[in-house]
Structure 1
């Protein structure tokens, strides 16, 4: 039996390896920094008007949830007029743009998904790129975000604000 000489497979050129690693790294970086502005979501232009719904008689249970469902977030007195409060664990921002009117929005910035961190001068602020959103309707007041914060459903019953 004749054996043919073995020829080693040539190793890829250094330039090819560097280009491949660079392209893979670029793909990872673009994915990590990519904006989700193209994803669909609600406009954030509506929220609870402060009127109660079918859960008007909801009572609070010992675990922070309401007997009619949802999670009790706060008392109405906890939400400053013209401002709001961020509930990190629930991922929601509750605002009171005018006396007795309460709104709720996602606490996730629509630019790159950072959690908003503060509310001042009638705007909800994202710390990552300084996007600002209206406390009244979640609309963009300052970019780079291009989409409003999505509205969240809350119920105001007596002096309690319930998520859901």
Structure 2
């Protein structure tokens, strides 16, 4: 009897874990374009499922987690300025009792880099949070590796 209970518990927990992993309303894609002999622009695209929104990099404290890009240090390249984003939607959200800025559908972030080497790979991570009209998911983190040729 204990074996059956143990097996059923394992199956139940596995099923719950599988459903929890299914809710990922943001997919990320990356590319780089050389813009000069020693310059390139990284394009980091987030595609957001209908009904969800991804928060801007520029949020005041006290609200949702803002999107944060962190780049690995390398002798092959250096960042030029900050990661750019298009103009977000800004609205008052009752849950946070403040104006928040976010993106729906898709957004392309851009980061310029100075190249110290002809070809390289820019590595880093993006931390982000998404919400819909009913709930928010816990902050998530995705690592990236963008080849620059």
So what's the TM-score if we normalise by structure 1? 0.25
- Higher percent of residues as strand: 2
Structure label with greater radius of gyration: 1
So what's the TM-score if we normalise by structure 2? 0.27
